[in-house]
Amino acid sequence: MIGHRCHRCLWFDNQHKTLDELENKDLGYCRKHKPVVFANKGKYYGGWPLVDINDFCGEFREDK
């Protein structure tokens, strides 16, 4: 389990151009499920969840 981290997962995407403007380079998108809707300061946005490279979940699939 300790090796099942997002940065080794098939669903992890840290190459998307929208991530270039982030200061924290340890983040990426989880592409396992459809995009989600979230609210920030009364406005609604849609997109894939941002995850840290060291996060993990029960749906890990190793990227070969």
pTM above 0.75, yes or no: yes
Residue 29 forms part of a structural domain: yes
CA distances from 60 to 1, 3, 44, 55 (A): 10, 10, 28, 10
- Supply the pLDDT for residue 52: 96
The number of domains in the chain is 1
Residue 61 forms part of a structural domain: no
pLDDT at 3 over 90: no
Q: 60 near 51, Cβ under 8 Å?
A: no
Residue 17 forms part of a structural domain: yes
For the stretch 19-51, pLDDT in tens is: 998 899 999 999 999 999 988 899 999 999 999
Residue 30 forms part of a structural domain: yes
Give 64's pLDDT tier (boundaries 50, 70, 90). confident
R_g of the chain, CA atoms, integer Å: 13
Give 2's pLDDT tier (boundaries 50, 70, 90). confident
Residue 11 forms part of a structural domain: yes
Q: Rounded CA gap, 4 and 59, in Å?
A: 9
- Give the three-class secondary structure for 17: helix
Residue 60 forms part of a structural domain: no
- Give the three-class secondary structure for 52: strand
Residue 26: domain span? 6-52
Residue 41 forms part of a structural domain: yes
